[in-house]
Chains A and B, each alone.
Chain A
Amino acid sequence: MKKVILIDDEPLARLLLREYLEKYESVEVVAECNDGFEGAKAIAQLHPDLIFLDIQMPKINGFEMLEILQEYPSVIFTTAYDEFALKAFEANALDYLLKPFSQQRFDLAMQKWLANPAVSSEKTENIAEITGKQPDEHLRIVIKDGTEIRIIPTAEVEYLEAYDDYVKIHHKGKTHLKKKTMNYFEKTLDSRQFIRIHRSYIMNINELTKIESFEKNSYLAILRSGARLPISRTAYAPLKEMLGI
């Protein structure tokens, strides 16, 4: 028996999926979820083989939910209209259903998956790359701390620090790790608020209280929290420009 989870914030959309799934006897719907949080939880508990995932959902969107998963089931995306996502799907050859879709179109997606479930699961892992292209995503960062899922509004982030393969996110006196690169954050964060001041640091400009000179030609950024971050020589000019000095 293959396990399937339906994740969509509209009950009727889930009802339709259930109806279309009726004829697949080897497939069982083990859970229905209303948003990404519930979805992530259910996936961790029930280890489904396949999920149907909507993109625009409450709290965190479908991509963000995938980002915090430990294990990746196969995914068939269902979406009404999402220009950004469509481009990403096509680039990654992921299967998606455009609402409203027919039983025939649905069957096609199911047959593709049934024929080769493992391949789709691999593709899902690549989806993390897509997420930065979602328009609402530079507004928040989703983090998994052990079993807890945290959403940090990017405006509240103090600074980001490179940490091996991770990026350390400093937020309200705490740090969180996220498996992304500094370049990723430099590209996706709002450039009016965040600036890369060093190979290893991206700073929230609103947290800056003063710039201290330190030795010859080198500077330190002092943040509201008292943190002292080095400013690289090449970053000093763009920083001054951003501050209008």
Chain B
Amino acid sequence: MTKLLQHRFSWIAIALLLVDIGYYFLLRRYGVSHGAALSDAVSSYFWLAFFSFILQRIHSFYHSRSAINVVHISIITVFSLLISLLTQWYGNWIGEQDETYHQLLSQLFFVRWFILFLILLTIVNQLWIDKHLQEQRLAFNHLLEKERQLAKAEMNNLQQQFQPHFLFNSLNSISALVKSQPEKAREMLFSLSDFLRLTLQKGKDDFNSVAEEIYYLNLYMSIEKVRFGNRLNVEIKDSGECENVQLPSLILQPLVENAIKYGLNSKTGEITISITIECNDNHLMISIRNPYDKNSANAVNGTGFGLKSIDRKLKLLYKQADLLKIEKTDDDFTVTIKIPGP
């Protein structure tokens, strides 16, 4: 981007140079001597280039909402006046022998000032447009990036729900049940179907009521209970008061899945996952506790990808940090999420 700006700037410099050469010949036509015309042309070119450069520097730091405003006009007025005064002063100094030039200088002071004003105005306009385009492009890229991240998050979300590992293991469990306990196999098939259907459906909504989330969660847990048999117990402490409170859809299930995974992985034998749901006027609090063995390496790695992505999701939705908290004691791992009220 700066390259392009520099590129533009060099074009401005060349255009000014051409104008300046024209100016030299104009002075010559009015009978100004070669020496005086040349030094006038060179000095005005130098000052113009110098102040244009300053304008460019100013524009790289600051961008106004419109190209022509009080600040721009006053800066340009002052700059063009300065250039006029500087060339005037320099012209008086070198043009002492040239009477024609001397006269022209004082006659044309305001004309020169006005022309310089117009030139600087054009330059400022150009710089402003450049900056404007650059900012627009940045904003556009930013938007694109944001969109891309959202799409990615959505994908992750789907993948998380549709964990192939979960799906194929559940199917395997059904296959095992078919012969020995056909009724149970059928039941599990229904739970699995309902679960998948809801995942597809709810994945599209942004928010769900607590009651709906719990229904979904129960489906999931009934499947997991069949898979892990007696090893898995789940208890939900829910007063029922929060039933209609809204929360981001499909946020509880991954948390519980996480708890089940790390609970079962770090401990052998039976485990109990406790889910507590509480709410007041300001927010909804849900905590999920699973036992873990601090000496197990699996427990050390307990803060995995799943939790991070939920934390990010909450942050994006509520623009608030610390909505997901993790507490570890020697034998418990608790994740608490806080959902701010509407």
Contact = CB atoms under 8 A, between A and B. Distances in A.
A151 B169 CA distance: 27
Given A56-B165, A140-B297, A13 B173 contact: yes
A222 to B, nearest CB: 27
A38 B227 CA distance: 19
Contacts of A80: 164-165, 167-169, 172
Interface string B220-247: 0000001111000000000000000000
B124 interface: no
A81 B266 contact: no
A98 to B, nearest CB: 7
Contacts of A140: 297, 300-301
A65 to B, nearest CB: 13
A88 interface: no
Nearest to A102: B175
A152 interface: yes
B125 interface: no
9 closest A-B pairs by beta carbon, nearest first, are: A16-B176, A80-B168, A99-B172, A140-B297, A151-B297, A81-B164, A12-B176, A100-B172, A58-B265
B187 to A, nearest CB: 13
B319 to A, nearest CB: 30
Contacts of A99: 168-169, 171-172
A9 interface: yes
B298 A12 contact: no
Nearest to A37: B268
Q: What is the size category of the interface that chain B forms with chain A?
A: 20 to 34
Interface string A35-49: 101100000000000
Interface residues of A, number: 31
Contacts of B169: 10, 13, 80, 99
Contacts of A101: 172
A168 to B, nearest CB: 20
Contact of B264 (A11, A13, A58): A58
Contacts of B171: 99-100
B226 A139 contact: no
Interface in B140-185: 164-165, 167-169, 171-177, 179-180
Interface of B: 164-165, 167-169, 171-177, 179-180, 226-229, 264-268, 296-298, 300-301
A101 B228 CA distance: 19
B172 A11 contact: no
Given A56-B165, A59-B296, A99-B169, A10 B227 contact: yes
A37 B296 CA distance: 12
Say what secondary structure dominates the interface of chain B: helix
A155 interface: yes
Contacts of A34: 268
Contacts of A82: 165
Given A81-B165, A139-B301, 13 more contacts: A10-B229, A11-B228, A12-B172, A15-B180, A16-B172, A19-B180, A58-B267, A59-B296, A80-B165, A100-B171, A100-B174, A140-B300, A153-B301
Nearest to B174: A100
A106 B176 CA distance: 13
Given A81-B164, A99-B169, A58 B176 contact: no
B172 A9 contact: no
A37 B268 CA distance: 10
A90 interface: no
A13 B226 CA distance: 11
Given A35-B268, A58-B265, A99-B168, A10 B173 contact: yes
21 contacts: A12-B173, A12-B227, A12-B229, A13-B169, A13-B172, A13-B176, A15-B180, A16-B176, A38-B268, A58-B266, A58-B298, A59-B297, A80-B164, A80-B165, A80-B172, A98-B168, A100-B175, A136-B301, A139-B297, A139-B300, A139-B301
